[in-house]
Each structure stands twice: as C-alpha cells, then as structure tokens.
Amino acid sequence: MILYFLSLVLLVMGLYCLIAKKNIVKKIVGIVITEYSINLFLILVGYRKDGVAPILLKGMHHGELVQHGVDPLPQALVLTSIVIGLGTLALMVALCLRMYEKYKTFDMSKINKLRG
Amino acid sequence: MQAYYPLFTAIPLAATFLTLLLAKITRRAADVMAFLVTALLAVMAVRMLFEAPFMYTVGNWKPPFGILLVSDGLSSLMLVVINVIGFLAVIFSLKYMTTYTAKEKYFALFMLMIAGMNGVVITGDMFNMYVFLEIASIASYALVGFGTGRRELEASFKYLILGGVASTAILFGIAILYSLTGTLNMPDLAQQLELIGMTRAVSFVMALFIMGFGLKASAVPFHAWLPDAHPSAPAPISAMLSGVLIKALGMYTIMRIMFDIVGRNALVAGILMFLGALSMTVAGLLAIGQSDFKRMLAYSSISQMGYVLIAIGLALNPNAELTVAALALIGGLFHLVNHAVFKSLLFLGSGAVEYRTGTRDLGELGGLIRKMPVTGTSVAIGSLSIAGVPPFNGFWSKLIIIIALLKGGYWIYGSLAVLVGFITLFYFIKLQRETLFGKLPEALTGVREAPFAMTLPLVILAALCVVMGLGYVAVEGSLLEAAKSALLDKLAYMNLVIGG
Amino acid sequence: MEILLLFLLAFMIIGSIIAIETKNLLSSVISVGVVGFSLSIIFLMLGAPDIAITQVVVEILILVVLIRATITTDNTAIEGARDNFPFVSSLIFFGLFLIFAWFAVQELPRFGEPLMRVSKRYLESGARETGATNIVTSILLDYRGYDTIGEATVLFTSIIGAFVILRRRGRKGKAEADTEKFGILEDEDIKKNFEGF
Amino acid sequence: MDRLESEIRDTSKGMTPIVKTVVRFVMGIIVIFGAYIVLFGHLTPGGGFAGGVILAAAYVVLVLAFGRELGLSKMSNKAASILDNFGALAFISLGLLGFTGGWFFLNFLPKGKMFDLFSAGDIPLMNIAIGIKVTASLFAIFIALSIFGRVIYKMSDLDDSESEE
C-alpha cells in the first residue's frame, strides 16, 4: 500500500512542478517525473510475490512461469507509455528551444510579459 | 464493411507514412493523397451509418484478451462528424495552406490527427483509447504551433502542458482501474465495475477522469488553454480543433465511460451539470469582450460545449425519468453535431476573411458581405445558427436541451441556459455587425471573394445548417436515436462481449 | 525486498525534490537522470527486464538531449524569488488530492497479489499461441499489436511535430527577422537558395 | 577505417583523442548488441524499441565524440527520415497483411518451433520494422535538436556583444 502511495506522491510532485514552476525546463522536468511515477505504479501493480520475469527460458518448466510469473500486461503498457513519453518530450524540447530563440528566456512569466 | 472496420485508422496511418515518402519525389503528392484519403474516409463513415452494432476483434483474439473495436450508434455518429468535417477542412486547406511552408508535413499531421480521433471513437479498449488520444493530441500540439510565430509557440506550449496533465490523469485512472479489475476491455470492465460498485477507489478514478477528459473537452475550470490554442492554429485546424477534437477526445470519451462503463451515477451527474452550467455562463460572458474574431469563436466553443455537458449530466442522473434523460441526451447529441457544423463553418469563414484581408481584428473589419458575398452569407447563416435563431439547427437543439432541463425540474439551470442563449445572440450580433455589415474600412476596398476551394466547404456547411434545422425528423432523428440508445442501454454494451 | 524498494523509492522522491527545487537547471536535469536510473533498478527488481533495458537507454537519450538543450544556452540559473501564491494554493490542492488518494489506494489489491484475470491466460498459453517465448513481446506485438502501431505512430507524430516546430520559416512572405536566420531548412528553402545564387 | 583514423587525430572537432579511440572500440559492440536485442526480442528480454533506442544511442555517441559531420556522413538527416517512414510503413503493412487471414494484425505466418530464431510468425519481422523506425526517428530528432542548439549558442554569443538588456 505504502509503495502505491509513494508513487502517487511522486506523481503529485511532478504535477506540482508542471503547473506551478515558471521555468520551461522545470516544466519538462515535471512531465518526466510524472511519467516515471505512472510507469512505476503500473509495474508495482503487476508484481507478484517472489515473481519471475514473464519470459519462458530454455529448460524452464512452463508451470513455474504460470505459478510465479509477474503480470506481463502492465509491462507491455509501460513500454508503450515510455515511448509515448519520449515522443512528448521530444516535442517539448523542440518547442522549448524555439521559444528560447524567440524570447531569449526560459521564464514563462517573462514570456507572458514580452508577448504583451 | 464489418470485416474492414480497423481501416478507419489503418488507411490514414498508412497514407501518412506513404505521403512523406512520396513527397520526397513530388510535392503535389501530399495534397492529392490527403484529399483522396479524407474523401474515402468520409464515404466509409457515411456508409457506417447503415450498419447494425457489431464488434471487431483485432488479430482474432477473443475478448478480453485482444483489443476490441466496437461499432454502435454513437461511434458511427462521431465517425461521420469527424470524417466529413475533416474532408471539408482538407478542401479548405488546399488553398489556404499555400501561405505556410512545409505543406506536406501539415497534411501528414492532419491525417494523423484524423487517425487518432477515429481510433478513439472506434475502440473498445481503455489503453488503446489512451494511445490514440495521445496521437490526436500530439498532432494537435504541433499543428497549433504550425506558424512558429511567438504567439503560436506560446499557445502550443501551454496546450502541451495542460494536455500533458490531462493525459497523466487519464493514464493513472486507467492504471487504477486495471489494478481493481484486472482487465482493460471496456465491456468487460463495465461488468466488473457492476460487481465492485461505487467504492472510494472507483470514485477517485472518476475524479481523475473528469479532470483529464474535462481538460481535453475544455470545461470551465480547465479551459485555460483553449482561448489561446484555437485562435493560434491555422484556420482549418481551428475548425478541426473546435469543431471536432474537443468533442471526440473530451465529450465522446466522457459519454462512453460514464454511461457505458461506470453506469448512471447521481454524483457524477451533478458534477457534470455544474461544470456545464459554469462553462456555459463564464465563457459566454468572456466572449462578449473579445476583439479578435477567432478568440471570440473560441470562447463561444467553450460556452456551447457547456450546453452539451449539462445535457449529458442530466441524462446521467439515475433519478431522472427515462423519457427526460432520453430527451436531454438527444438534445445534447444534436447540439454536439450542430456545433461541429457551425463552429467549423465560422472558423473556416474567419480563415477566408483573414486570407483576403490579412487581419482578424474586429475593429479593422466591416462591410465584408458586399465584397465577399458567398463567404459573408455563409458566416451569417452560421452565426444565426449558433445564436439559436429559428429555423436554423442551433435553435432546435438548444430548445430540446432547455425543455429537458425544465421537465427534469432544473429551473435554475434551465433559465441559465435561456439567458446564455440571449448572451450568445448578443455577441454574435456584435460579431456580424463588425465584420459583415456596417461601414467598409478604406483599407479593405480592394478585397475580393475567397477562392473556390475555400468557399465550397463554407457553402456545404451553411447548407447543412439549414437542412439539419428544417429536416430534423427526416434526416437525423433516427441517427440520434441510435446513438442515444447506445448510451442509455448499458446492458447491450456489456453483452457485446458475450453475445458477439 | 519491500524494504529495499521503499529505500529506492525514498531515494527517487529525494532526487525529484532536488530536481524540482534546485536553482541550477543543469543540476536539475542531472537529478532527473538519477531518478530515472533508480527507476530502472526498481524495474529490474520487480521482474521487468524488458522495461529496465528500455528505461536505461531512454534515460540516457533524455539526459543527452536535455543537457544539450540547457547547456547550449548560457542561461542555466534561475534568478528571482519564488512566488508564494502558486506554491501555497497547489500545496492545498495536492494535499487534498493525496488524502483522497490514500483512501483510494487502500482498496487496491495488496502489493504482490495482483488479480491477473486476463494476464493469467497470457502466461499459460502465450508462448504456445504466438510462438514468442518472451510473453511481453507476445502481448506487445501479437495480442495487442494494434496498440503498438499506435505507439510507433505517437513517436512518428512527435518527430514530425518537432521538425515542424523547428523549421526555419513558418509562413511565406511574412518574414519575422529572427525566424529567417535560425531553424532547420526545409527542402523548398534549399531550392530557393540555390535559385537565388 | 582510414577516415576514422584521421578523424581521431583531428583535435579541432569533437572530443579528445582518448574519447574517440574508446568510442571507436565500443561502437561496434554497441551496434552488435542493439541488433541482437532487436533480432532476439521474441526470445529474450528486449525487442524492437529497446534495440532501436540502443542503435540510436550508438549514433548519438558517435556524433557526440566525433562531431556532427562524421555522424551525418554515416546517416544523413534525409536518409533518417526516409528510413523512419519506411519502418513505420513496413510495420503497418505487416498489420494489414493480416487481412489475408481475415483479421487486422493477425499473426499470419507459421509459428515455427519454440526457441528458434525464425519462430513466432511475424513477430521478429515486426521487431525489425520497429527497430529500423525507432533508430531512424530518434537519430533524426537528435540531429535536429542538436543542430538547432548550435545555432542558439552562436546567437547568444552575439547577444552578449550587443548587450541589448
């Protein structure tokens, strides 16, 4: 339980950084942290006590996998969500560089002022 | 058609990948490809209206093990809205986008956005919905910043931040649901939630979903990004964003999840009605003060979405009589379709005006109906329609929603809806007076009518406004009926897995 | 096991606090890297080697890109005092959120005992039905292959999006002075430049 | 290899010769490892995404150590975007080929013997397609962002001399 809750704490910290911080790079940091927290939560949810990786190795008894294998579905979801996060990040960094080139600052409040 | 249901996403995706390869050889390829693909999709979508509900299992894996695609009245209705408006926006873009560079990337992103929205609408799997939602969102972030000007970039960044918060909330909700039920398949999820009931964890998920999808639909406390993002985008994209995207990613998903998966619930209904009333009023009042053509339209989008939200909320209330719920839902869906038509008409019209005059400041425009008769008349019809003047379509949908509110005993919300109707009328009269009628400024004496590729979609949409107003019973009555029963009959949705 | 996990999670949270609150952008970015690498260790401990590999490599890429983004600009320190109003209001909002979350989390299945209604079948017959002995791959590319095309498309979309945002000129004709000089050349621009000469 | 030898001695571009020598040594190992992760994705941990990111990281290391020019000579921006499109197209074509068996994304090839490299139907092919796509797109985005970063760097130098604030 406490593990789930801690990953939610991580989520909240990321969201706080995303919303309340003025600096664009800090906002990117925030979105990266929220992604970590979700991935962590999904993997935690799928863990089984004394679990083994959901991969059938040569010479491994199939029953052992069924008995002890951890939930493979969240892992597939996390793989997808990591890649989605990477895509979002690439777009954000591109926007961030472009805005720096236009406004010469990373500070959102200054950008708002410059825009007039 | 049933066997080829996934083509709604597969065609635009494959076409995008192919387009960018072909565009290396000839630059015309992107235009032709986008036109053909969206035309084909529009035809396919209209064809879908004549199909009975069915499900499609991707890869022939029996649900809930594979991904399930579902077709019912609601998804068919949304497919028609998305693809027909997308097709018209592409026709408009052919000429309009010549003022921008990198046209082939524009069309690639456009098709990806269409693919994303189609994917959201046809899917029957929670995580798959999230993935396609992200495709549509990311494409729209990039399209908002397409002009790479200062304002565009800032609007796009703001949109990206709030969209990121929304996606986070949605994905976390999905993760908690998966932990609770062990499944991602929507009909299966509905059955499991029936067994679990409305526990604290489920209500927490609901809160996350209302926040996430509310951000995507831009209901009032979550609306900060829309008035910046929608005006900044190129006009056809504003039309797609305001006309379709907020509905496919926000409204449709809220309806699908709240009605078919969670089931009707008084608390959620109350929250949605409150948010609807709030968005309707606040955004309506804010729209009056705007001096930018597109910004005013953007605020009015939020306000009109409030009507839809309030209708959904009323229908969601389990204490409401079934006839009232059905009436509210019909009104809400009708208004959703109507809004897609007239808001895209108005945004495209603003694009045509901007294309010829080079400005969207209301103070610098005026008397344009003499110089641009076709554009002017279409925009006039669109604004009368959104303001709720009979006999255009906007009047009937608003009337149905107000009647349903009054029948359901919500006097305050009902009178608020009437009041906001008058506010809408007021600011659209202001809009008309300052752009179409009145004195023509001297700077604009040389203005000509917009090119044919731009007036054609305007005329088609204006005609739709009239036809949908006059021929309600003949044209859309049965379609809305099918969509309504798809929502109110949760059992049929759950049984798709067992029966199919 | 759980103790070690708790320790790592606490480490991640401390790293995130540093990343969020430090005034130097470079150290902020590096702290995020620390958080990401400890995350990949957690993945490895929880029986998810696929994710752990991906997380490590993706983390390296993220770090390289972010460091390049921040280091090439000389503006790496944040000046100015912190605004208190957004801090306090978000503290209240997120505090409430966490209280609700605490109650909601209590109702989830206990840690280490997932329901696995659907996943049981993947473990039982995934290898036989798809032929892939890595069950995660069999889900990713067979049972849920349709998701994966979506995921590849997301990456594709964001790459096109980044190119669109970074391109040299947004509109024809109307040239803002600074957009002319910077950004990535489009093919049509290159042609035009050659014509000009 | 002659090219690399001379590049290593050239101290004007990229990092120090020590780094360059190590990178040259490690490069091959990284590429082989990435290709292994892609090809054996259906048997061992990893797959198209992880392998693709590793391959892209190999290029990134090359660019960081030797400077932009050599990296671009190995794989130009245009080639990267063509490969990107090609990989995505190959992947969705594999999905569409499933229609030959009646369903989208049907695994239409014979499954083969378990634990063989050529088993699991079209899964290895999909892994390869994704691997190509991810490598190309991540390389493209890295090059785009780093070219852009350079320009900004020069620009901020200019700003200091003008001292506009």
pLDDT digits (tens, 9 = 90+) for A4-42: 888 889 999 888 888 888 888 888 899 999 999 999 999
Beta carbons of C48 and A43 less than 8 angstroms apart: yes
Give me the total of CB pairs closer than 8 Å, taking one residue from chain B and one from chain C: 153
Q: What is the pLDDT of residue A111?
A: 75
Contact assignment for B98 to C172 by CB distance below 8 Å = yes
Domain extent, residue D95, equals: 2-102+111-140
Which of A83, A90, A104 is the closest to D49 by Cβ?
A83
Q: What is the pLDDT of residues B299-315, one digit of tens each?
A: 999 999 999 999 999 98
Q: What is the 3-state secondary structure (H, E, C) of B38-57?
A: HHHHHHHHHHHCCCCCEEEE
Q: How large is the ipTM? A: 0.90
- Measured over the CA atoms of residue B439, residue B441, residue B445 and residue B447, the dihedral's sign is negative
Query: Contact partners of D by the rule of 3+ C-beta pairs under 8 A?
Result: A, B, C
| D22 to chain A, closest Cα gap in Å | 28
* Among B316, B331, B277, B306, residue whose Cα is nearest residue B481: B331
* DSSP assigned state of D101: G
Contact assignment for A34 to B164 by CB distance below 8 Å = yes
Q: What is the pLDDT of residue B87?
A: 93
- Measured over the CA atoms of residue A80, residue C36, residue B207 and residue B328, the dihedral's sign is negative
| C121 to chain D, closest Cα gap in Å | 17
Residues of B in contact with D104 (CB under 8 A): 6, 10, 56, 58-59
Contact assignment for A15 to C94 by CB distance below 8 Å = yes
Total count of domains within chain D: 1
Contact assignment for C154 to B131 by CB distance below 8 Å = yes
Q: Does D155 map to a domain?
A: no
Residues of B in contact with C103 (CB under 8 A): 200, 204
Q: What is the pLDDT of residue B28?
A: 81
C138 in contact with D, Cβ within 8 Å: yes
Q: What value does the mean pLDDT take over residues B47-74?
A: 84
Contact assignment for A72 to C135 by CB distance below 8 Å = yes
Q: What is the pLDDT of residues A84-115, one digit of tens each?
A: 999 999 899 888 888 887 777 777 777 777 66
- Quote the tokens at residue A90: 């690439």
C47 in contact with D, Cβ within 8 Å: no
Q: What is the pLDDT of residues C92-117, one digit of tens each?
A: 888 888 898 888 888 888 887 888 88
Phi, psi of B471, deg, nearest 5: -105, 40
Beta strands B68-71 and B54-57, pairing class: antiparallel
Q: What is the pLDDT of residue C1?
A: 75
State how far the alpha carbon of D120 is from the alpha carbons of B36, B399, C5, C89, D107, in Å: 36, 59, 35, 54, 8
Q: What is the pLDDT of residue B209?
A: 92
Q: What is the pLDDT of residues B93-144, one digit of tens each?
A: 988 888 887 888 899 999 999 999 999 999 988 999 999 999 999 999 999 9
| Res. B371: pLDDT tops 90 | no
**Cα separation of B474 and B489, whole Å?**
24
Residues of C in contact with A36 (CB under 8 A): 12, 35-36, 39
State chain B's mean pLDDT as an integer: 87
**Inter-axis angle of helices D123-162 and D48-66, to 10 degrees?**
30
Q: What is the pLDDT of residue D157?
A: 39
Residues of D in contact with C136 (CB under 8 A): 45, 47
Check residues B38 and C73 and name the one with the higher pLDDT: B38
**DSSP-based three-state secondary structure for B318:** coil
Contact assignment for A3 to C2 by CB distance below 8 Å = yes
Distance linking the first and last C-alpha atoms of chain C: 69
Q: What is the pLDDT of residue D61?
A: 83
**DSSP-based three-state secondary structure for A52:** strand
State how far the alpha carbon of B427 is from the alpha carbons of B367, B387, B466, D156, in Å: 17, 9, 21, 46
Q: What is the mean pLDDT of each run of 10 residues along chain D (165 residues)?
A: 62 72 85 87 81 87 76 70 86 84 76 70 85 88 71 42 30
Q: What is the pLDDT of residues B234-249, one digit of tens each?
A: 889 999 998 899 998 9
**In sequence order, what are the residues at sequence separation of 6 or more whose Cβ sits closer than 8 angstroms to the Cβ of residue B218?**
B225, B226, B246, B250, B279, B301, B302, B305
Which of B20, B67, B108 is the closest to C147 by Cβ?
B67
Beta carbons of B271 and B410 less than 8 angstroms apart: no
Chain A residues whose C-beta sits inside 8 Å of any chain D C-beta: 53, 55-56, 58, 79, 82-83, 86, 90, 93-94, 97-98, 100-101, 104
pTM: 0.92
Phi, psi of B54, deg, nearest 5: -150, 170
CATH class of A2-115: mainly alpha
Residues of B in contact with D76 (CB under 8 A): none
- pLDDT category, B494, cuts 50, 70, 90? confident
Which residue in chain C has the smallest CA separation from B157?
C165
Beta carbons of B309 and B372 less than 8 angstroms apart: no
Residues of B in contact with C171 (CB under 8 A): 99-101, 147, 149
Beta carbons of D104 and B66 less than 8 angstroms apart: no
State how far the alpha carbon of B421 is from the alpha carbons of B244, B270, B398, B410, C42, in Å: 22, 22, 8, 17, 56
- pLDDT category, B213, cuts 50, 70, 90? very high
Beta carbons of B208 and B169 less than 8 angstroms apart: yes
Q: What is the pLDDT of residue B212?
A: 92
Work out the burial of residue B180: count CB atoms within 10 Å of its CB; fewer than 13 is exposed, 13-18 middle, 19 or more buried: buried
**Cα separation of B2 and B345, whole Å?**
32
Buried b (16+ CB within 10 A) or exposed e, D18-57: eebeebbeebeebeebbeebbbbbbbbbbbbbbbbbbbbb
Beta carbons of D70 and C74 less than 8 angstroms apart: no
Residues of B in contact with A99 (CB under 8 A): 153-154, 157
* Among B293, B346, B376, B370, residue whose Cα is nearest residue B465: B346
Q: Does D159 map to a domain?
A: no
Scanning C143-172 for CB atoms below 8 A from D yields: 145-146, 148-149, 152-153, 155-156, 158-159, 162-163, 166
Residue D154: how many other CB atoms lie within 10 Å: 12
Q: How many residues does chain A have?
A: 116
Check residues B471 and B45 and name the one with the higher pLDDT: B45
Q: What is the pLDDT of residue B120?
A: 92
Query: Contact partners of B by the rule of 3+ C-beta pairs under 8 A?
Result: A, C, D
| Res. B471: pLDDT tops 90 | no
Q: What is the pLDDT of residue D126?
A: 86
Q: What is the pLDDT of residues B392-439, one digit of tens each?
A: 888 888 988 999 999 888 899 999 999 999 999 988 888 888 888 877
What is the helix (H) or strand (E) element at residue D7, kind and residue range?
Answer: helix D2-9
Of the residues B60, B69, B107, the best mutation for testing chain D's interface (the one with the most D CB atoms within 10 Å of its CB) is B60
Q: What is the pLDDT of residue D158?
A: 38
Beta carbons of C44 and C5 less than 8 angstroms apart: no
Contact assignment for D96 to B21 by CB distance below 8 Å = no
Contact assignment for A94 to C162 by CB distance below 8 Å = yes
| Res. B376: pLDDT tops 50 | yes
Share of chain B above pLDDT 70, in %: 98
* pLDDT < 50 regions, chain C: 175-180, 190-197
Residues of B in contact with A15 (CB under 8 A): 165, 168
B141 in contact with C, Cβ within 8 Å: yes
